[in-house]
Structure 1
Amino acid sequence: MGEQGVWGRSAWPAWNPARPGARSARVRGVVVLSLFLLWPLWEILRPEAGGPDAALGAVLPLYGAGWLVAMTAGPRLPPRRRILLVGTLFALAVVAALLRGGPLYLGHAGLFSFVLAAAAWLFPALWAVLLGLGIGTAQALVQWATPGPIHWNLMGGLFPAVVIPVAVVLLIRLVVQLGQAREEIAALAAAAERDRLARDLHDVLGHSLTTITVKTGLARRVLESGGDVERALAELRDVERLSREAHGEVRLTVSGRRRPSLAAELAGARAALRAAGISPILPPSADHVPAELAEPFAYVLREGVTNVIRHSDATRCEVRLGGDWLEVRDDGPGRDAAKPGNGLSGLAERLRAVGGRVEAGPLPAGGFRLRASRA
C-alpha cells in the first residue's frame, strides 16, 4: 500500500503481481462493482424523476465505465494518471448533475459518493479524506447559496454520503494491506527457513564429511603401508559411526530439532584433529559458558576445526574458551579471510542473534585465528 502505511502521504495503493486465479477474481470484482452503480443510476433514470435527456444518457455510461476502470485498473496506474482519472470522474459527475437538475443538483450526494470511493481507492488516505471534506463542504455551500428554501433532506444526506464511501473503501484497503503483509511475512518466513536449513546443513555435513574423509584416508594409508590392521579397522568403524551420526543430525536439522552440545563438539574436535595428524590443545570443559552462548559457540568450534583440517596445513590447533568468547588458532601458513565463505557468514548470523560477533584473520606471528565473542 505504501512505505508509510494507509495514512502515509506517499501511500499510493498498489496491487501485488498477478497470481493464479487473479483473472477470475477480477471478473467477479467487476460484476460486484457494477451492481453498486444500479442505485445512483436508477435515482437519475427512474420515470418519476422525469427521465433523462439524450446528453445525460451519453454522460452516465461514460461515468459508470470510468468508475469501473478506476476501481479495477486504477491501482496499476502511476499517480499522475490516477489524479487525471479521478478528475475526469469528478467532471463527469458535475456535468451529469447539471444536466439532471441544474446547480441545485450539485448538492445531490449520490454521484459524488462514487468519486470519493474512487479517490479513497486510488489516492493516499489523507488525500481522500481531504477531498471528501472539500466536496462535502462545497455541496453544503451550493445548497445554502441556491435561491429558495433549503432542502434539509439533501443537506442531511451529505454527511453519510461523504463519510461512508471514504470510510468503507479505506477499511477495504486496510484489509487488503493486511493480506499483502501476511503474504510477505509468509514469504520471508519461508526464505528464513531455507537459509536456516542451508546454514545448518553446511555446518553439519561440512564437519562430518571432513572428518570422514580424514579417517578414511588414514585407514587407507595404514593398509597401503602394511601397518596395523586393527588401527585401520578402528578408523573405519569410526567412519561408520560418524556416517550414522551425520544421517541422524541431518534428519534433526531438517525438522529443526537439532541442538549441538559444546562439550560434545570439543570431544569430536579432539578426535578429528588427531585423525588429521594435528595436535589438539583444547580446554578441559565448557561448563563455565552461559547457556545462551553454548549453542553458537558449538557451531563456531565445529566450523573452525573443520577449516583447520581442510585448509590450514597446520601441525597444531589450539582452542581457547572464556565465559563469553571462544578462539580457534592454528600454526599453519595462514589463510586469506578477505572473502569469507558460507561457513563464516553463517557463524556471523548466529552470533548476531545473541549480540555477538565473529572475527577471522591471520595472526602476526603466523597461523590463523577464528574468534567469536559477545561484547
Structure 2
Amino acid sequence: MVGGVRLPPRRRILLVGTLFALAVVAALLRDGPLRLGHTGVFGFALVVAVWLLPARWSVLLGLVTLALQVFLGPVDWGHVGGLVPGIVIPVAVTLLIRLVVQLGQAHEEIAALAAAAERDRLARDLHDVLGHSLTTITVKSGLARRVLESGGDPERALAELRDVERLSRQAHGEVRLTVSGRRRPSLAAELAGARAALRAAGIGAVLPPSADHVRAELAGPFAYVLREGVTNVIRHSGATRCEVLLGDDWLEVRDDGPGRNAAEPGNGLSGLAERLRAVGGRIEAGPLPAGGFRLRASRT
C-alpha cells in the first residue's frame, strides 16, 4: 500500500477493482448466504481502497458495500460493526496525513515567497540607495580632480573631497539600515541631496523650497522617485537644467537634456512603479514635446 500511492490513478483503480473482484469471487465460493464481509480478501480490499483512492470515493465505496451486504443477504451485525472502524480509521488517518503534508507544503511555499519578497526588497532598496550615492560621489570626485588639474582653488577641491568622505560614510550607514529593513527615506533630505548633486554636476537646479505640504503616506515613495530621477538626470540626460515640481499628491522631475534618461523601463523605474502601486499611485516617464525628459509620480 505504501508503494501504491506512487502509482498512476488508472493503475490504482485497476488494483482496487481487482482486489474487490477477488473478494466477490471468494464470497461466491463459500457455502451459504452471500456475505461479502466474511472474506478476508474483501476487508483487505477495503483498506487498500481507503489508502489509494480519494477520501470521498473511499467513504462512498464503504457505504455502498454495507448497503449491498444488507440487500444481498442476512446481516451479521457483529461483523458489519467490525467493518465500520476498518473503514473509518484508515480514512481518518489518511486525511490527517494529507493535512500534515499539505500544511508542510504550504509552510515551505510561504517561506519561499517571503524569501523572494525580501530579496526583491533588498535589491530594490540597494539599487535606489547606492545608485544615487555612487553617482554623487563620482561627480564630486571628478569635480575635485578637475579643480586640482586646472590649478583652481584648493579649498574648493578639499570641500568636495570632504563631501565625498561624508557621502561615503552616509552611504555605508544607509546600506546597513537597508539590509536591516530600518531605513526610512526623507523627502526633505532628498531635496537637499539633489540640490548638492546637481550643483556638483554643473546642472542648474530649480527645486521647491520645502516638502511639508506633501501627504505623509506619499513622502517616502516620492523621496525614492526624486532620488532616482535626479540620478538619471546626472548620469544619462546631458542636461544643463533640472526642475523639480512638487504638489500634494504628485511629483515631477524635468530636464532639458538631449539624452533619453531611463526612457525604457529598467530596475530603477520598475522598483519605483512597485513603490507607487503600494500607495495607489503610478509612474509616468517619457520625453517632453519641446525636448528633454519628464519623470512623474502621482496618485489620482
TM-score, structure 2 as length reference: 0.91
Q: What residue is the counterpart of 1:31 in the other structure?
A: none
- Residue of 47, 54, 77 corresponding to 1:114: 47
Gaps of 5+ in 2: none
Q: What residue is the counterpart of 2:96 in the other structure?
A: 171
Q: What residue is the counterpart of 2:59 in the other structure?
A: 132
1:88 matches 2:52: no
Return the alpha-carbon distance in structure 1 between the equivalents of residues 103 and 112 of structure 2: 14
Identity of matched residues, %:
71
Write the mapping of 1:21-100 to structure 2, written as runs, cut at 5 A.
67-71=1-5, 73-74=6-7, 81-96=8-23, 98-99=25-26
Q: What residue is the counterpart of 1:202 in the other structure?
A: 127
Return the alpha-carbon distance in structure 2 between the equivalents of residues 93 and 134 of structure 1: 11
1:105 matches 2:36: yes
Q: What residue is the counterpart of 1:181 in the other structure?
A: 106
- Residue of 141, 145, 163 corresponding to 1:216: 141
Q: What residue is the counterpart of 2:265 in the other structure?
A: 340
Q: What residue is the counterpart of 1:284 in the other structure?
A: 209
Alignment-mate amino acid for residue 11 of structure 2: L
How far the C-alpha of 1:131 sits from its partner, in A, is: 4.2
Which stretch of structure 1 is more off in the superposition, 170-179 or 314-323? 170-179
- Cα pair 1:140 1:155 within 8 Å, conserved: no
- Cα pair 2:23 2:45 within 8 Å, conserved: no
Sort the Cα spacing of 1:309 and 1:336 in 2 relative to 1 into closer, same or farther, 3 A.
closer
Return the alpha-carbon distance in structure 2 between the equivalents of residues 311 and 224 of structure 1: 25
- Cα pair 2:37 2:80 within 8 Å, conserved: no
Return the alpha-carbon distance in structure 1 between the equivalents of residues 176 and 127 of structure 2: 14
Alignment-mate amino acid for residue 240 of structure 1: E
Sort the Cα spacing of 1:161 and 1:136 in 2 relative to 1 into closer, same or farther, 3 A.
farther
Cα shift readout 1:309-350 (whole Å, capped 9, x = no counterpart): 000110110111111111100011141655311111111111
Sort the Cα spacing of 1:288 and 1:205 in 2 relative to 1 into closer, same or farther, 3 A.
same
Return the alpha-carbon distance in structure 1 between the equivalents of residues 148 and 38 of structure 2: 101
How far the C-alpha of 1:104 sits from its partner, in A, is: 1.5
Return the alpha-carbon distance in structure 2 between the equivalents of residues 98 and 154 of structure 1: 19
Question: Match of 2:282, SS?
Answer: strand
Query: What is the aligned length?
Result: 294
Q: What residue is the counterpart of 1:353 in the other structure?
A: 278
Q: What residue is the counterpart of 2:162 in the other structure?
A: 237
- Cα pair 2:206 2:242 within 8 Å, conserved: yes
TM-score, structure 1 as length reference: 0.74
Question: Match of 2:35, SS?
Answer: helix
How far the C-alpha of 1:96 sits from its partner, in A, is: 4.6
Question: Match of 1:371, SS?
Answer: strand
- Cα pair 1:94 1:106 within 8 Å, conserved: no
- Cα pair 1:104 1:143 within 8 Å, conserved: no
How far the C-alpha of 1:98 sits from its partner, in A, is: 4.0
Return the alpha-carbon distance in structure 2 between the equivalents of residues 158 and 356 of structure 1: 63
- Cα pair 2:47 2:86 within 8 Å, conserved: no
- Cα pair 1:86 1:118 within 8 Å, conserved: no
- Cα pair 1:282 1:320 within 8 Å, conserved: yes
- Cα pair 1:356 1:373 within 8 Å, conserved: yes
Return the alpha-carbon distance in structure 2 between the equivalents of residues 158 and 196 of structure 1: 57
RMSD value, Cα? 2.0
Return the alpha-carbon distance in structure 2 between the equivalents of residues 282 and 226 of structure 1: 32
- Cα pair 2:281 2:299 within 8 Å, conserved: yes
Which stretch of structure 1 is more off in the superposition, 320-329 or 332-341? 332-341
Question: Match of 1:260, SS?
Answer: coil
- Cα pair 1:208 1:246 within 8 Å, conserved: yes
Question: Match of 2:184, SS?
Answer: coil
Q: Which runs of 4+ in 1 moved over 6 A?
A: none
Q: What residue is the counterpart of 2:244 in the other structure?
A: 319
Cα shift readout 1:211-247 (whole Å, capped 9, x = no counterpart): 0000011111111111111001000000000000001
Question: Match of 1:335, SS?
Answer: coil
